[in-house]
Amino acid sequence: MKKTQLLRVTHLEQDRETIDTAARILRQGGIVAIPTETVYGLAADATNPQAVAEIFAAKGRPADNPLIVHIPYLDQLKDLVTRIPPEVEPLARRFWPGPLTLVLPKSDRVPLITSGGLDTVAVRIPAHPVARAVLDRAGVPLAAPSANRSGSPSPTTATHCQDDLWNRVDAILDGGECQVGVESTVLSLCTPVPTLLRPGAVTLEQLQEVLGEVMVDPGVLQHLGDDAQAHSPGMKYTHYSPRAQVILVRGDAEQYGEYLAREQQDGDYAMCFEEDIPFLDLPLVSYGSRTDHLRQAHELFDVLRMVDKLEAKRVFVHAPDPQGVGLAVYNRLIRAAGFLVVELGTDPPPPGEPQ
């Protein structure tokens, strides 16, 4: 067992020593939960196989699920990859630093344990000032998956990290709440056509503006069995699951309200939009307005953790519209629900979903 240090950064300029402490632990092969603009990451030196092994152990993460490697500046990308495809330049100009991860051909600098045995590596340049300061001071690329126990909702506050990883990591660096709230968009540039592996705050529509054609990997919205050849190995695992059973419900506010009036039992909660509240007569938590996908993304994981604190038995989630950042919210919820979706309305299916 480790003894976790809780570190806190409130003012980057005044808290330089705290950043140095986190960076020193990382340089010495330790593991530290750090804030990013998407979710908290559990960081280690991406080039140190022993340190990376500690990430897998602390999270209870399957060894074939690769990690994202974080760097502070674009000029460090060339060390991690064997080739920089032409799409990188316009994508980096528009979206980096920020919530976009690119899958690229891996160089020998990245150990196989970091890439889950693959010959590709996922790379991101984060925007969060604390993450950037730690990267700068550590002076090594940092592998960082989301800082939750494998399978549970990703952490968007230092408290979430403490709940999952206390005395399993060397330090937790509290930098406040994450702004985006869902993990980065993952785009593979190792496929014949750029392929969206995981939707995030950089939207499919925005990627299409820059690249023209973008494929959506089937795993974004469908269940891939254990032995499916998932392009993104992470997508085949159960994810984001609270202990409560999650059921995703598609339809309008009235249909959702009528359905719940028929179905509801003791221990049920509605995870709903603000607009639904007048139609509901059961315990509820709202995760924003139906049209405000950014707010839904920001609230999502906190609300999924909250329903467990409330000891909900079942949570009926009103499904977001799968456009823009809504696709990212939908993608996480459909996994939280184990792909259990109740169709009440005539909404068009999300992109890439079988009819």
> Could you say which of 22, 122, 215, 285 contacts ligand TXA (CB under 6 A)?
122
- 146 contacts Mg ion (rule: CB under 5 A): yes
- 202 contacts ligand TXA (rule: CB under 6 A): no
Q: How far is the CB of 83 from ligand TXA (least distance, A)?
A: 14
Residue 252, CA distances (Å) to 206, 274, 321 in order: 27, 13, 11
Q: Which of 232, 222, 179 is nearest to 338 (CA)?
A: 222
Q: Which is nearer to ligand TXA, 40 or 269 (CB)?
A: 40
Q: Output the CA torsion 230→232→237→242 (10° steps).
A: -140
Number of chain positions touching ligand TXA (CB under 6 A) = 30
- 145 contacts ligand TXA (rule: CB under 6 A): yes
DSSP state of 294: H
- 121 contacts ligand TXA (rule: CB under 6 A): yes
Q: How far is the CB of 161 from ligand TXA (least distance, A)?
A: 11
By CB under 6 A, the residues from 155 to 184 that bind ligand TXA are: 183-184
Render 320-334 in DSSP notation, one character per residue. Answer: PPSSTTHHHHHHHHH
Dihedral of CA 44/47/51/52: which sign? positive
Question: And the tokens for 213?
Answer: 């054609």
- 156 contacts Mg ion (rule: CB under 5 A): no
> Could you say which of 19, 23, 26, 67 contacts ligand TXA (CB under 6 A)?
67
CA distance 275 to 281: 14
Q: Which is nearer to ligand TXA, 160 or 318 (CB)?
A: 160
26-34, 138-146, 276-284, 339-347 -> range binding Mg ion (CB under 5 A): 138-146
- 36 contacts Mg ion (rule: CB under 5 A): no
Check: CB of residue 191 under 8 Å from CB of residue 208.
no
CA distance 32 to 43: 5
Check: CB of residue 214 under 8 Å from CB of residue 195.
yes
- 36 contacts ligand TXA (rule: CB under 6 A): yes
Q: Which of 254, 344, 242, 225 is nearest to 303 (CA)?
A: 242
Q: Which is nearer to ligand TXA, 234 or 350 (CB)?
A: 234
Q: How far is the CB of 181 from Mg ion (least distance, A)?
A: 13
DSSP helix/strand/coil, 164: helix
Q: How far is the CB of 354 from ligand TXA (least distance, A)?
A: 21
- 184 contacts Mg ion (rule: CB under 5 A): no
Q: How far is the CB of 68 from ligand TXA (least distance, A)?
A: 5
Q: How far is the CB of 150 from Mg ion (least distance, A)?
A: 8
Residue nearest to Mg ion (CB): 146
72-80, 96-104, 164-172, 288-296 -> range binding ligand TXA (CB under 6 A): 96-104
Question: And the tokens for 166?
Answer: 């206390």
CA distance 61 to 137: 27
Residues 209, 232, 33: CA angle, nearest 5 degrees: 95
HSE toward the beta carbon, residue 347, CA cutoff 13 A? 22
Q: How far is the CB of 221 from ligand TXA (least distance, A)?
A: 14
Residues that bind ligand TXA (CB under 6 A): 36, 38-39, 41, 65-68, 99, 101, 103, 115, 118, 120-122, 124, 144-146, 183-184, 186, 197-198, 231-235
Residues in the site for Mg ion, rule: CB under 5 A?
A: 146
